[in-house]
Chain A
Amino acid sequence: MVRAGRGWGSGVGGWGLGVRPGSGPILLQGHERSITQIKYNREGDLLFTVAKDPIVNVWYSVNGERLGTYNGHTGAVWCVDADWDTRHVLTGSADNSCRLWDCETGKQLALVKTSSAVRTCGFDFGGNIIMFSTDKQMGYQCFVSFFDLRDPSQIENNEPYMKIPCSDSKITSAVWGPLGEFIIAGHENGELNQFSAKSGEQLSNIKEHTKQINDIQTSRDMTMFITASKDNTAKLFDCTSLEHLKTFRTERPVNSAALSPIFDHVVLGGGQEAMDVTTTSTRIGKFEARFFHLAFEEEFGRVKGHFGPINSVAFHPDGKSYSSGGEDGYVRIHYFDPQYFEFEFEA
C-alpha cells in the first residue's frame, strides 16, 4: 500500500536533505501562493513548479534541493513545460506573456506578449514547436498559438505560424499528441478537441465530461491520456481515436490526474474548490491523493498531506515516486513504500 504522509515535521524541508527512500515525503517550500502546475522533465531528475506567484522554481527531484528560479514573470504562472532534452523551459502566465527560458542558465530567451492570460503551454515531441492557449478574458477570445522555434522571426515579430480561435468554450488544459501532429485540448464546458498542428483543423471532438477539464496528462508512450474534471471524475482516453476507455469517480472536483509509467495505476488530486473551503472543515475537504487501478477503475490507496485541495500531481518518469502541488502552496515529493510495488489486485 501507499504510505500515508505524516504531515508536519516529518521529512526535511526543501533546504535540507531528505534521505530516500523511507523517511516520509519531501516538502518543497518555494512558493508563496497556491501551486498551479508541477512537471518533471523527461529524465525525471528535475521538477518544475509554478504557482500563483511570479516565481518559476526548478528542483532536484532526488532530494528536494532547489536548483534555481526563472525570474521575469509579473503575475501568476499557470503552466510550465520542458522540452525532451531539457534545454528549454516554457512558462505561461497571467501577466499576459509566454516565456521561453534556457533551462540551465535561467536566461530568458524569448517573450511572447499576449492579450490575455496564458493558460496552457507545451513543447511538441521534437521540441521545435511550442503551443500555448490564452484565456477568454477582457473581451479577447481564447486562442491557441503555434510558433516554430526554428524560425526566430516568428517570435520576434510575435507572428505565430498558426492561431486557432476557440469561440465557444475556452481551453482550460491542453497537451501535444504523439509525434506532434496535433494537440488535445480540454475545454471549460467539458469538451475535448483534437486540433491539427499543421492546418489548425479540428480533427475530432467529444464530450465525455460535464464540467470543466482541469488537467490533461499523457501516458509515457503518449498513446493514452487522462483528463481531470470538475465533474468529480477523471477519464482515460486513447490519444489518436479519442476513444473513452475508463472512468475514475470521486466525490470531489478532480484537479489533476497522472498515469504511472510502470504500473496500471493512476493518481488523482483534487478537493473542494478554494471558494468553498472556508465553509467546510479540512476534515471533509478530502484533500488526499487517490490511487486507482487503471483497468479496474477501483481505488486502492490514499495519501494525505496537503492542507487544501491538490492542484497538480505528477509521476516521476521512473514510477518510483510522485509529487503533488497544493492550494496550500507546498509541493510534496512522495517515494513509494516497498509494499506499493508488491501490491496486486485479486484477479
Chain B
Amino acid sequence: MQDTEESPAAAASGAVQGPGGDTEHTEGPPPPLAEQQQQQEEEEKEGEGREEEGGESEAPPGPPEPPPPAAEEPSAEPEQQPPPQPPSGRESPEKAEAEPEAEPAVGAEPEAEPAVEAESEPPAEGKTEAEPGPAQENGEAAPGVPAEPEDEISFSDPEDFVDDISDEELLGDVLKDQPQEADGIDSVIVVDNVPQVGPDRLEKLKNVIHKIFSKFGKIINEFYPEADGKTKGYIFLEYMSPSHAVDAVKNADSYKLDKQHTFRVNLFTDFDKYMTISDEWEIPEKQPFKDLRWTETYVRWSPKGTYLATFHQRGIALWGGEKFKQIQRFSHQGVQLIDFSPCERYLVTFSPLMDTQDDPQAIIIWDILTGQKKRGFHCENSAHWPIFKWSHDGKFFARMTSDTLSIYETPSMGLLDKKSLKINGIRDFSWSPGGNIIAFWVPEDKDIPARVTLMQLPSRQEIRVRNLFNVVDCKLHWQKNGDYLCVKVDRTPKGTQGVVTNFEIFRMREKQVPVDVVEMKESIIAFAWEPNGSKFAVLHGETPRISVSFYHVKNNGKIELIKTFDKQQANTIFWSPQGQFVVLAGLRSMNGALAFVDTSDCTMMNIAEHYTASDVEWDPTGRYIVTSVSWWSHKVDNAYWLWTFQGRLLQKNNKDRFCQLLWRPRPATLLSEDQIKQIKKDLKKYSKIFEQKDRLSQSKASKELVERRRTMMEEFRKYRKMAQKLYMEQRNERLELRGGVDTDELDSNVDDWEEETVEFFINEEIITLAEPE
C-alpha cells in the first residue's frame, strides 16, 4: 500500500519547492522562505522534514493524476501492475491529515533521498506515531513570525524551545481516532481483463461493471485509468467495507464477461502482499494438531448407524465408512432439523431461512447416496418435527395439513395416486413400524363420534375404525415391531368430573384387529411399550405420589397388570432396546432419580441417582445405559455416567460443557433366529471365556495403575531429594536470618522454650441429640 503514496508524495514535494507555491496555508500567509529556512536551521533535523512535509500535506485536493504506468500494455500479472493510486478523491483529505504522521520519518532521511523510498520503509510508521503534534504546532507558529511587527507579542517559541509534551498527552483521546493511511485500502479491488474502450463507450462499460460488482456491496469509488483516450483494461473499485471486497474477489474472479474477457479480480492489498514474498521457500513449521470442530450445533446418527450427521451453517455433512471420513454434503443454509428415512436412503432437512414463494426450500428431501436434492417443500404450519413421517421401509412418507393427509412415494417424491387424502379434522397420524399401515384420529364433530382409523397403504383400505365418545385428546403409541398399537384416550365421560384415561390396545397381528381397553383412574405421566415384547409400562399419579405399573398383553388378548410400584420419583420411562429391563428416571426437576427394574419378575434391581441428570441413553445392545447432565439443560456438573443394565455404576466422566452423548445404532443382526437360540443355549460356555478375559484386563489395569504410581513416586522423590539438598545448603543462611535460632524442625529450638502454664476454664455442657441414622 505504500505504493499509493508514490505519486502524490512526489508531486507534493515538488510543489513545496517554490516558496508559498500553489499550496494553501490555511493558518496564514506563508512565511518568507528565508525566515523559514532560518527557523529550520535552528530546529532539530526533523523540523526540516516536517516543514517540507507540511507542504506535502497540503497537496491539492481531488484525485491526483494517475501515475504513469510502468508498462504500456495492460497486464494480467499482478506484479507488473503499475503502482496504482488511491482510486478516490475521498481519500485525499484523509491522506492530507494522515501525512504529517509519516513525515518526520521522511525528514529524518537526507533531503536528497526521494521521499518515496523513505515512505516505503515500513518501520517509519510505528516510529512516528506520536510526532504529528509538533509538526502542527510548528506549522502554526512559524507563519506567525515574519508577519509580526517587533513590538507585538510573539507567540512563537523561543529559539531554544524544546517541545517535551508528546501528542499522547495533549490529545491522546482524539489521537486514536485519527485516520490512518491504510484506512479504506482493504476495501479496494483491482479488476483485470476489462475491455478497453474509448470515451464513447465508457458509460456503457461502467454500467456493466456496476451491474456485476454492486452485487457484493455498495461501490463508493471507481477509477478507470486511461491512456491515449482509451481505458487501460484494468480498473479499481472501492467498496464500503473490506468484507464486500473479499466477497467480490471470491465470487467475481474468473467471471466471463464475453469470449475475450474473463475478469481477474484481486484485493488491492494482495498486490503488496505477494510482491514481498521472498523467493526462498521456507519449510513450514509443523503445526500442532488443532482441535477439529465437528459440528456447530449437535449431531445425529442415521437409524442404522451408517452415517453421522453434523450440522453447519451451510448445511449438513455426513460422515462414515471405515475411516469415518466425510462422505456426503447437503447444502442447506441455516439448517436446524433433520430426519433420516428408516432405510437410510433419504435425508430430510429443515431450514427456516431459505423459503421463497415460488421455490420451496424450507424442507428439502435429499438422496443420500447421490447427494442430489430430490424435492423441496414449503413449511406452512409449525407442526412438530418430523413433519414428514416415513413408512417403516422408506417407500412412503406423509405429512398432515389441516383436513388433509398427503402421502408421497419414493423414489419419485410425488403424491401417491396424485392426490392427497381429505380427512376432515385430522389431528394426528402415525405409521406402523411393522407394515405400511397408517393410524390417524379425528376428534368429535357434532354428532359424529371421534374415531381412530387404521388404513392400509397403498390401497387406502380402512382395516379398522374405532369410534370413541367424549374424547379430549388421543395419543398414538406403536409397539416397536408394529405388533400392537396403544391409543391413549383422554375422555371426559358424561356425569363425571375431570379427565379419565383409557388405553385402547389394538392387536395388529390378529384378524379384524381386536381392541381391548385398560381404564386408568389417575392422570398419566408417561407410557412406553416394551420393544420386541408385549409389556408396557405406565407412570401415573400426581407428584409426589407417583406409581409405575407394568401390564402384559396376553396371547388371548387379556391385559394383565403384573405389578405396581408406589412412591416413584420418575417422569420418564426408558426400556432397554432388547426389552425386559427398564429404567425409570426422574429427570431434571426430579433430581435425576433412577430406578432399574427387571420386568421378567418385576424386581427393583437398584435405585440410584445422577443428580440433575437430563438425559438417559441405552446402548443398542441393552447392556449399558448412560445418564448425563447436558450443558444444554444445566450449566454445572456436566458429566456422563455409565451404568450396567442392573444399575451398577461403572464410570463417571466429568466433562466441562458436555452436551450430548448418542450411542451409535447397530444394524439389524445377521444371525438367524436359530443361531441366536443356539447362542443363548451355550451362554455358559461363552461366559466362562469372557469372565476370564475380564479378569485379565482388570488385573492388567490395576497393574498399570500401580506401575504408574511407582514411576510418579520415583520422579517425585528425585525432585524432593534435589530440593532438600538445596534446603540443607541454605541452613546457615536460615540460622542467620533468625538470629541463630534453629527452626528447621518444630522442636529443634526446644532449649529456648519457656514453659508457660495456661489455665482453661472448663465448661461442660451435655446435649442429648437425636441419634442420627
Residues in A lying within 8 Å of B, measured CB to CB? 6, 9-10, 12, 15-17, 42-44, 60, 63, 65, 84-85, 125-127, 178-180, 221, 223-224, 238, 240, 245-246, 251, 264, 272, 276, 280, 283-284, 294-297, 317-318, 345-347
Would you list which residues of chain B between 674 and 694 have a CB under 8 Å from chain A?
none
| A318 engages B734 (CB within 8 Å) | no
Would you list which residues of chain B between 630 and 685 have a CB under 8 Å from chain A?
636-637, 654
| Pairs A–B under 8 Å by Cβ, sample size 27 | A9-B769, A12-B765, A16-B765, A60-B758, A84-B743, A85-B738, A125-B734, A125-B737, A125-B738, A126-B737, A178-B730, A179-B730, A179-B734, A223-B726, A245-B719, A264-B716, A272-B636, A276-B636, A284-B611, A284-B636, A284-B637, A295-B713, A317-B746, A318-B746, A346-B706, A346-B709, A347-B713
The minimal Cβ–Cβ distance linking A279 to chain B, given in whole angstroms, is 9
| A296 engages B763 (CB within 8 Å) | no
> Given A16-B765, A296-B713, list of 6 further CB < 8 A pairs?
A6-B772, A16-B762, A84-B738, A126-B737, A178-B730, A346-B706
The minimal Cβ–Cβ distance linking A105 to chain B, given in whole angstroms, is 15
| A280 engages B636 (CB within 8 Å) | yes
| A223 engages B733 (CB within 8 Å) | no
| B710 engages A347 (CB within 8 Å) | yes
| A85 engages B746 (CB within 8 Å) | no
User: Whole-angstrom distance between the alpha carbons of A347 and B763 in the complex?
Assistant: 47
Q: Please, which residues of chain A bring their CB within 8 A of the CB of B767?
A: 9
Q: Choose from A15, A65, A127, A240 the contact partner of B726 (Cβ within 8 Å).
A: A240
Q: Choose from B654, B709, B717, B763 the contact partner of A345 (Cβ within 8 Å).
A: B709
| A296 engages B746 (CB within 8 Å) | no
The minimal Cβ–Cβ distance linking A231 to chain B, given in whole angstroms, is 10
Residues in B lying within 8 Å of A, measured CB to CB? 611-612, 636-637, 654, 706, 709-710, 712-713, 715-717, 719, 723-724, 726-727, 730, 733-734, 737-738, 741, 743-744, 746, 758, 760, 762-765, 767, 769, 772
Contacts between the two chains (Cβ within 8 Å), count: 85
Q: Please, which residues of chain B bring their CB within 8 A of the CB of A283?
A: 611
| B738 engages A17 (CB within 8 Å) | no
The minimal Cβ–Cβ distance linking B736 to chain A, given in whole angstroms, is 8
User: Whole-angstrom distance between the alpha carbons of A125 and B739 in the complex?
Assistant: 11
| B636 engages A179 (CB within 8 Å) | no
Closest B residue to A6 using CB positions: B772
User: Whole-angstrom distance between the alpha carbons of A240 and B724 in the complex?
Assistant: 12
- Name the prevailing secondary structure of the A interface residues: loop
9 shortest interchain CB distances as A-B pairs: A126-B737, A295-B716, A223-B723, A347-B709, A16-B763, A9-B769, A17-B762, A295-B713, A125-B737
User: Whole-angstrom distance between the alpha carbons of A318 and B716 in the complex?
Assistant: 22
| A85 engages B741 (CB within 8 Å) | yes
| A296 engages B636 (CB within 8 Å) | no
| B733 engages A179 (CB within 8 Å) | yes
Q: Please, which residues of chain B bring their CB within 8 A of the CB of A284?
A: 611-612, 636-637
Q: Please, which residues of chain B bring their CB within 8 A of the CB of A251?
A: 636-637, 654
User: Whole-angstrom distance between the alpha carbons of A346 and B737 in the complex?
Assistant: 41
Closest B residue to A295 using CB positions: B716
User: Whole-angstrom distance between the alpha carbons of A223 and B715 in the complex?
Assistant: 16
| B727 engages A223 (CB within 8 Å) | yes
User: Whole-angstrom distance between the alpha carbons of A10 and B770 in the complex?
Assistant: 11
User: Whole-angstrom distance between the alpha carbons of A32 and B724 in the complex?
Assistant: 42
User: Whole-angstrom distance between the alpha carbons of A10 and B706 in the complex?
Assistant: 39
Q: Please, which residues of chain B bring their CB within 8 A of the CB of A127?
A: 738
The minimal Cβ–Cβ distance linking A130 to chain B, given in whole angstroms, is 15
The minimal Cβ–Cβ distance linking A61 to chain B, given in whole angstroms, is 12
User: Whole-angstrom distance between the alpha carbons of A6 and B771 in the complex?
Assistant: 12
User: Whole-angstrom distance between the alpha carbons of A70 and B726 in the complex?
Assistant: 38
The minimal Cβ–Cβ distance linking A207 to chain B, given in whole angstroms, is 18
Q: Please, which residues of chain A bring their CB within 8 A of the CB of B730?
A: 178-179
Q: Give the one of B654, B727, B737 with max A CB within 10 A.
A: B737
Q: Please, which residues of chain B bring their CB within 8 A of the CB of A221?
A: 723-724, 727, 744
Q: Give the one of A42, A280, A318, A347 with max B CB within 10 A.
A: A347
| B746 engages A43 (CB within 8 Å) | yes
| B737 engages A180 (CB within 8 Å) | yes
Q: Knowing A223-B723, A284-B612, say if A17 contacts B716 (CB, 8 Å).
A: no
Closest B residue to A264 using CB positions: B716
Closest B residue to A180 using CB positions: B737
User: Whole-angstrom distance between the alpha carbons of A16 and B717 in the complex?
Assistant: 43
User: Whole-angstrom distance between the alpha carbons of A127 and B741 in the complex?
Assistant: 13
Q: Choose from B712, B719, B738, B765 the contact partner of A296 (Cβ within 8 Å).
A: B712
Q: Choose from B709, B713, B734, B763 the contact partner of A17 (Cβ within 8 Å).
A: B763
| B654 engages A44 (CB within 8 Å) | no
User: Whole-angstrom distance between the alpha carbons of A224 and B726 in the complex?
Assistant: 12
Q: Please, which residues of chain A bring their CB within 8 A of the CB of B733?
A: 179
User: Whole-angstrom distance between the alpha carbons of A238 and B764 in the complex?
Assistant: 47
| A42 engages B743 (CB within 8 Å) | yes
Q: Choose from B719, B738, B760 the contact partner of A63 (Cβ within 8 Å).
A: B760
Q: Give the one of B636, B637, B717 with max A CB within 10 A.
A: B636
Q: Please, which residues of chain B bring their CB within 8 A of the CB of A85?
A: 738, 741
Q: Please, which residues of chain B bring their CB within 8 A of the CB of A60?
A: 758, 760
Q: Knowing A16-B764, A84-B743, A238-B723, say if A295 contacts B712 (CB, 8 Å).
A: yes
User: Whole-angstrom distance between the alpha carbons of A126 and B710 in the complex?
Assistant: 38
| B636 engages A223 (CB within 8 Å) | no
User: Whole-angstrom distance between the alpha carbons of A43 and B752 in the complex?
Assistant: 13
User: Whole-angstrom distance between the alpha carbons of A284 and B760 in the complex?
Assistant: 40
